[in-house]
Amino acid sequence: MVQRTGNEINFAVLIAENGADVTTMSKPKKEHKMNETEQLSSRRSFFTLIWIGLGFVAFIEFIGIVTAFILPRKKRAKTGHFGAIIDVGTVDKFPKESVTAFIRGKFYLCRLKDGGFLAVSRQCTHLGCTVPWSDKEKKFVCPCHASAFDITGEVISPPAPRALDIYHLYIENNIVKVDTGRRVKRSGFHTDQVVYNKKA
């Protein structure tokens, strides 16, 4: 004969009195476990959706950056601004052996002794400092490392390694025009860089 403990007897009495089935007694625990599982799966699916959304946004931004990098920029330069063709004035407006600064165009218009013109960059070829013209000394003197250049932009005192860059210029109907979108690097000054007014 098998002996029963008090708990087992009480459980058996409880079942007999209520007419309950043993399987129905364990249902609430199973339902509770199922609810927890559903909550976990719904959280996982929510976070999965968030990560998919963030990945999609990052992908769109990446495509935008690549497209902006590959496609050329269309610049519309305003008249009189850097990167545009600037009408600086008539030939007679500039006396011989004069240097006129054009701040927006970032260049100096130099008229030489023989009447020719050069559009000289304001940037020193050493470290890119802005080089002012000294009318008293008749030369460009860099304030950073004391490089000096003559009116043609040729180096007369190092450490600048080469002459100042120039911009393409031309004279049309007696008006001097400078193309600030076309800077020309040069090692030194040559007479063929000078532009003269062609008299009709």
> Per-residue pLDDT tens for 63-83?
888 887 787 655 444 444 556
Q: How confident is the model at residue 31 (pLDDT cuts 50, 70, 90)?
A: low
Mean pLDDT to the nearest integer, 107-111: 96
DSSP strands (E only) in the chain? 85-90, 98-102, 107-111, 117-121, 133-134, 139-141, 148-149, 155-157, 166-172, 175-184
CA–CA gap between residue 152 and residue 187 (Å, rounded):
12
Mean pLDDT of 131-145: 93
Reply yes or no on whether the pLDDT at 114 is more than 90: yes
Strands, sheet with 155-157, edge to edge from the N-terminal-most edge strand: 133-134, 139-141, 148-149, 155-157
Q: How far is CA 120 from the centre of its chain?
A: 27
SS3 18: helix
| pLDDT surpasses 80 at 38 | no
CB 168, CB 182: distance < 8 Å? yes
pLDDT higher for 71 or 113?
113
Query: What is the structure's pLDDT at 24?
Result: 46
Q: What is the DSSP letter of 81?
A: S
Identity of the amino acid at 121: S
**What pLDDT, on the 0 to 100 scale, is given for residue 76?**
46
pLDDT for residue 20: 46
Instruction: Give the pLDDT confidence score for residue 77 in this predicted structure.
Output: 44
Residue, of 197 and 82, whose pLDDT is higher: 197
pLDDT recorded at residue 165: 95
Given a cut of 80, whether residue 15 has pLDDT beyond it is no
